[in-house]
Amino acid sequence: MALTNLIPARFLCLIAHLVITVTLIWSRDANVRACLSETYTDTEYNSADVSLIIGLSLSILFLVIEIIGFMSGVSMFIHPVGLLSTACHASAAIALSLYLFEEWPCYIFWYIFGFCSAFPAVVEIGVLIAVLGLKKVR
């Protein structure tokens, strides 16, 4: 019974993570300033801004890959992958919300990115390769 609730929970967590990531792209100025010292140059600001834009763009790319794998049905019924994805993206939604509102420094974003975006995306890509490329039975 609990596994049937995993599919909508995974979908909602993926969408929540995507919405918060897009919101961060729109309002990243405060987080970029939190990455810099009290006196910073325009070059330092632009460098931190570009770095954050690249990370957020990669997050969106990874989320799109996961949504495609999920919505196509390839990984929808593989429960360990669904549980991992739900846990990672729920954690990401909470952590990125705090990152946005508390104006955490930029280096914390990269930890969130690694554990909550890159790791589940690598697992999803592995599932896509196994199911579609190698024709492994689920």
pLDDT, one tens digit per residue, over 91-107 is 999 999 999 999 898 89
Distances in Å between the Cα of 94 and the Cα atoms of 21, 47, 89, 97 are: 11, 26, 9, 5
Mean of pLDDT values over 36-40: 90
Q: What is the pLDDT of residue 33?
A: 92
Confidence of residue 138 (pLDDT cuts 50, 70, 90): low
- The four Cα atoms 100, 116, 72, 26 give a dihedral, to 10 degrees, of 20
Alpha helices by DSSP H, 1-138: 6-26, 29-35, 42-71, 79-102, 106-113, 119-128
In this prediction the pTM is: 0.91
Round to whole Å and give the CA distance between 34 and 105: 5
Contact 104, 31 (CB under 8 A): yes
Assess whether pLDDT exceeds 70 at residue 75: yes
Q: Which residue has the tokens 């599919």?
A: 7
Q: Residue 120 pLDDT > 60, yes or no?
A: yes
Contact 74, 133 (CB under 8 A): no
Mean pLDDT of the chain: 93
- Rounded percentage of the chain residues whose pLDDT exceeds 90: 80
